[in-house]
Amino acid sequence: MAIEQVRAYFQTYGLEKKIIEFDVSSATVELAARALGCEPKQIAKTLSFYDERGGALLIVAAGDAKVDNQKFKERFAIKAKMLKAQEVEPLVGHAIGGVCPFGIRENVRVFLDVSLQRFDRVYPAAGSANSAIALDIPSLQTYARSCGWVDVCKAWQE
C-alpha cells in the first residue's frame, strides 16, 4: 500500500507521525481542502506526466494552478502529456488520488512549481486517497527531493 511506502519514507526523517489520515476522501483538491479545513490553493497537488527519458515526471503545484502547455514545453522540450490513469501507479508508485512526491519510484523526477512559493505551509497527499502531510516550503523541497523550481503553471496569480 502506497501510504505505507510514504510512512516508511518519512520514518527515516522521524516525521511519520505528521501524516494525517482522514475518515473521508481527500482524493481531489476540493475534498482535501475540506478535510483539512484550508483553502484549496494550499493543497500541493502532484501531477504526473510522461518524461522524455521514459517513466514519469511529477509537477507539484498549488491547488489553484493549471499546467500551461506552452510553458511546460518551453521548460522540458516535450509536450505536456499526463499519464493515463492505469499507468500512474506502475510508473510513480502511488495511485491517483494519493500521488505525492514521497516514497516514489527511483527514476521519477520531481519539480516544484513556483505557484507554491506564496505559502508558508502546503498540504500534499501522503500516498493514499485519504491522507496528507503539512509541510513548510523548505521541507517540501527537501523531502520531495526536488530537481528544482519551475514556472509551468497558470491561472494562480492573485
**C-alpha cell at position 49:** 506526466
Look up residue 93 and give its DSSP letter. Answer: S
Mean pLDDT of 19-48: 97
pLDDT band at 158 (very low <50, low <70, confident <90, very high): low
Contact (Cβ atoms closer than 8 angstroms) between residue 125 and residue 46: yes
What is the distance between the alpha carbons of residues 46 and 49, in angstroms, rounded to a whole number? 10
Question: 146 vs 55, which has greater pLDDT?
Answer: 146
Mean pLDDT of 108-132: 97
Decide if pLDDT at 69 tops 90: yes
Residue 52: predicted pLDDT? 82
Residue 108: predicted pLDDT? 96
What pTM was estimated for this model as a whole? 0.95
Q: Domain spans of the chain?
A: 2-154
Instruction: Count the Cβ atoms, other than its own, within 10 Å of residue 123.
Output: 24
What is the distance between the alpha carbons of residues 45 and 32, in angstroms, rounded to a whole number? 10
Q: Find where cell 494550499 sits.
A: 42
> What spatial distance separates the first Cα and last Cα of the chain, rounded to whole Å?
38
Look up residue 82 and give its DSSP letter. Answer: B
Residue 136: predicted pLDDT? 98
Decide if pLDDT at 126 tops 70: yes
Side-chain half-sphere exposure of 107, counting CA atoms within 13 A:
10
Residue 150: predicted pLDDT? 98
Farthest-apart Cα atoms in the chain, separation:
41
pLDDT band at 86 (very low <50, low <70, confident <90, very high): very high
Non-local CB neighbours of 90 within 8 Å, separated by 6+ positions: none
Question: 158 vs 106, which has greater pLDDT?
Answer: 106
DSSP 16-81: GGGEEE-SS---SHHHHHHHHTS-GGGEEEEEEEE-TTSSEEEEEEETT-EE-HHHHHHHHSS---
Residue 1: predicted pLDDT? 58
pLDDT band at 53 (very low <50, low <70, confident <90, very high): confident
Decide if pLDDT at 45 tops 80: yes
- What CATH code is assigned to 2-154? 3.90.960.10
